[in-house]
Chain A
């Protein structure tokens, strides 16, 4: 299993500002993902964080809005840029140690944009 530390756990931000969320894993992992979860809804994949290269974004998500870094196999950041109230959501970091194995989740970041 993998232990994931995600920071911050929650934040209230002003519209137009940016927030960077950090995800630290206690071991090297192959795959790291960033999800968004609206209240009462399913998980929506934002992007796959690739070590040493640009993240792979899902339809509807772009790098300018959600820049992602992954400098090594244990750490990644997601930035929510130029925030609006519609960005209010829970953001989750997830990791997997390989194909066909379960995903582990960070504690999540509850973001409120006012």
Chain B
């Protein structure tokens, strides 16, 4: 079966760095996405990785290792507004998105 695993909840301090991990097992791979979802709102796109390595976009970076079925989202200089759920999703061989359950990130002052 297809499976996406990510931690349920993480806590970090304002100004610090946090890494959210995602491991996956899917039938085929056509890229991995990270989305941010604030409570009561729709998910918004953060990043897309299809090749191994690190993609940096401002305070957010995303890493992919296809051989290990592993990705992480790195958030730097955390701000209170970063408190949200972060969803990992993998596009399988049918170009369908398989979603993780999301990681709720709590930022403390």
Residues of A within 8 A of B (CB): 40-45, 92, 99-100, 102-108, 110
Contacts and interface: CB of A to CB of B under 8 A. Distances in A.
B94 to A, nearest CB: 9
B95 A103 contact: no
Contacts of A107: 41-42
Contacts of A42: 87, 99-102
Contacts, number: 40
A24 to B, nearest CB: 15
A55 to B, nearest CB: 14
Contacts of A108: 41-42
A109 B97 CA distance: 20
Nearest to A93: B42
A91 to B, nearest CB: 11
B42 A99 contact: no
Interface in B72-107: 87, 91, 95-97, 99-102, 104
Closest 7 CB pairs of A and B: A105-B42, A99-B95, A42-B101, A43-B99, A102-B45, A42-B99, A108-B42
